[in-house]
């Protein structure tokens, strides 16, 4: 087992990662990060939060999301552009996955 695989296994067993599915293109597992990662690996957790914030800001700037920055706990909604398949195809892979994750979380 590689060092990376061992780390992933430890994080799953510690509750910091959850298997979210399988990438249709690569066949690799996809993972969700849980808040427990903050205690186990704070640097990795902060890197994840920074990436999420960057992606959310980019999607807002491009008009795929509405975000009310004037409240303490900003409300995020998907715009019509964020539901338009023609417009969604213009996103990078990372932006696409970020938008899909926002949609998934809003559907809960």
pLDDT of residue 107: 85
Q: Note the pLDDT of residue 87.
A: 97
- Maximum pairwise Cα distance, the chain: 48
User: Quick check: 25 pLDDT over 90?
Assistant: no
Share of the chain above pLDDT 70, in %: 100
Q: What is the pLDDT of residue 20?
A: 84
The predicted model scores a pTM of 0.76
Pairwise CA distance, residues 23 & 31, whole Å: 10
Burial class, 11, CB count within 10 angstroms (exposed 0-12 / middle 13-18 / buried 19+) = buried
β-strand pairing of 29-33 with 65-67: unpaired
In this predicted structure, what is the pLDDT of residue 50?
Answer: 94
Q: pLDDT, tens digit, for every residue of 30-83?
A: 888 999 999 999 999 999 999 999 999 999 999 999 998 888 888 899 999 999
Structure-block tokens of residue 98: 């970020």
- State the Cα–Cα distance between residues 39 and 67, nearest whole angstrom: 28
Judged against a pLDDT cut of 80, whether residue 108 lies above it is answered with no
Q: Give the model confidence (pLDDT) of 6-16 as tens digits.
A: 999 999 999 99
In this prediction, residue 17 has a pLDDT band, given cuts at 50, 70 and 90, of very high
């Amino acid at each position: 087992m590689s060092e990376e695989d061992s780390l992933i296994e430890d994080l799953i067993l510690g509750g910091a990662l959850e298997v979210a599915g399988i990438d249709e293109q690569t066949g690799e597992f996809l993972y969700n990060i849980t808040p427990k990662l903050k205690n186990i690996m704070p640097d990795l957790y902060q890197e994840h939060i920074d990436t999420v914030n960057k992606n959310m800001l980019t999607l807002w700037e491009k008009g795929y999301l509405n975000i009310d920055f004037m409240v303490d706990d900003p409300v995020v909604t998907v715009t019509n552009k964020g539901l338009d398949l023609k417009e969604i195809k213009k996103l990078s892979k990372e932006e696409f996955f970020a938008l899909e994750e926002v949609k998934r979380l809003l559907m809960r």
